[in-house]
Each structure stands twice: as C-alpha cells, then as structure tokens.
Amino acid sequence: MQFDPNYISGLVTALNKSTYSEQNLTTELSSGLAVSSLSDNPVAAGESSLLDSSISQDVTFEQTASNTESLMQVTDSTLGAVVTQLTSAISLATEGNGGTESSSDLTSISAQLSSIRDQVVALANTNYQGTYIFAGSMGDVKPFITDVSTTPATTTYNGDPNPNNVNTITTVSGQIIQTSLLGSTVFTAPGANVMTALNNLIADFSNGTVSATAADDISALTDGLTNVSTQRESLDSSLDRLQTAGSYATTDATNRTAAVSALVAANPTTIATQLSAAETQNTSLMDVIATVEKQSLFDHIQ
C-alpha cells in the first residue's frame, strides 16, 4: 500500500473548513443574523442593500413631509382666518349699503372695515419660521404693503411675481404635490382682488354717506372671498394627498424593514441543527488526525 503524504494535510484543511463553518454558525445563532456580509450571501446582501436604500428614501420623505405639513397647516389656518374676516366685511358693507344707517353709523362701518383690511393684510404677511408664506420664492420680502395716503388706499403685492413659482414636494412614488400658494393668486387675483375691494369699501362709507359704487365693491369682495375659499380648498386637497403619501412612506418603510429582517435573519432551529452537525464533524476529524499522528509512517506501508 502506498502512503499518501498529503493525507494529514487534507484532514487539517477539512478541519479548518469545518471549524470556520462552526464559528460562522455560532455567530449566526448568537446574533440572529444569517447574512452579515456580502460573502455570506451576495444575493441576499444585495437585496438587503436595495431595501435599505428604499427605507432611507422613505424616512427622508417622512421628515420632509412632516415639516411641509406643518407649513401647510399654518397656511390653511391663516386662510381660515382670512375667510372669517372677509365674511364679516361683506356683512358690514351690506349693512351699510342697506340705506337705513346714519352718517355716524356709516363712518363707524368704514372704521371697522379699515380694521378688517389691516387684519387681512397682516394675515397675508404671515411669517412662519422666518419666511413669508405667501411671498413665493421671495420668502424674505413682506409681500403686502398698504399706502393710506390715497383715497381709496392701495395695497400692493411685492412678493414673487411669477405665478408658477410655487413650492412643491415629490413623493417617493414620483407624485408632485403643490405645497404653497402665492399671495397674488390668493389676495390680488384679477377679478377677485380682496385688497382693492376692501380699500374701496372703506372709502365708500368714509364720508358718512354711501357711495354709488358700494354695491359693486361688495360684489367684488364676494368674488374675492370665493377665490380665497377656492384656493384654500386646493391647498387642503394637496395637504390630504401629502398626508396620504406620508402614511404610505411610513408603512412602506415598516414593511421593507421587516423584509430586511426576514432576509438576513437566521433560522434558530436550522442553525442549531447545522451547528450540531459541524461540531460532530469537527470531533470526528480531530479524532482521525490524532489517531494518524500516533501512527508511524511504517504503519501505512504493507
């Protein structure tokens, strides 16, 4: 019989492989992870990496959406207050135009309308976290200024003049949602200019008499109120869509996180069985090596 000089070397190599396998299985069993590096399972690790990237996108969108929702809610609340003020103004002006008010009553109505105009301008100049919410891209510029040196007074818009310069957010699915409104679209839209209508109504009753244009100015303010309400509805619709997209991102991140866990998680029962087999194999190999080392070369030569 010819003795194979590589016999023990082969046994040692097999033992090293078995020991490495045992160590890996022990690590998997203790960590609960079957995949901790690309070398363990390149396919699973690659899928896990893609899932992690998607989770990161979801989380980033969630954070951005949360901040944007806060801004939109401030805008919605502001518009709600504007609607209340304009409704009061229309009621006052209608009362003044009824033909039953005294001169002092009309002067008082004019003063109340002036106060309402100032409140509406203040609301239109709402600043949130250092940005004027109705100024468009020119967020550091106060959008509305009123000049009372003329009769009627004039309120001008100094924000972004481009009606297309509105803020948007892109969801993880690629949906683009408008998240802001321009002051020019809300307050000074052609045919629905609430600032001009308010200033005209103030002048209509300022002399203690009713101007012949009062009825038209009340109609103009009513149109302006309708426009403000329509713009608010549009914003609320966008807010609903954003909240839905945010909820989707949260759910998607949760599901993908679970998928990552399932992808890389170890099966304790399977790992324990494999570990037991590896330990048995290690013991057998070490026994064989020990036996061979006790034998001399001549024991293998017949």
Per-block mean pLDDT, blocks of 10 residues, the chain (302 long): 54 64 57 52 67 78 86 95 98 95 96 98 96 93 96 96 90 91 96 98 96 97 98 96 86 73 57 65 67 54 48
Helix residue ranges per DSSP H, the chain: 7-31, 42-96, 103-124, 183-186, 194-205, 214-264, 268-294
CA 123 to mean position of chain CA atoms: 25
The long-range contacts involving 19-27, CB below 8 angstroms and separated by at least 24 positions, are 19/282, 21/274, 21/278, 22/275, 22/278, 22/279, 22/282, 25/271, 25/274, 25/275, 25/278, 26/275
Residue 162, SS3 per DSSP? coil
**CA dist 158 to 28, 115, 135, 235, 289, Å?**
65, 21, 8, 22, 90
CB 162 within 8 A of CB 183: no
Given this model, what pLDDT does residue 26 score? 66
Given this model, what pLDDT does residue 248 score? 76
Token code pair at residue 234: 């549009």
Q: Report the predicted TM-score, pTM, of the whole model to 2 decimal places.
A: 0.71
Given this model, what pLDDT does residue 164 score? 86
Given this model, what pLDDT does residue 38 score? 43
The single-letter code of the amino acid at 15 is L
Token code pair at residue 70: 């806060």
Output DSSP code: residue 4: -
CB atoms within 10 A of CB 261: 13
CB 280 within 8 A of CB 25: no
Cβ-based neighbours of 236, under 8 Å, separated by 6 or more: 76
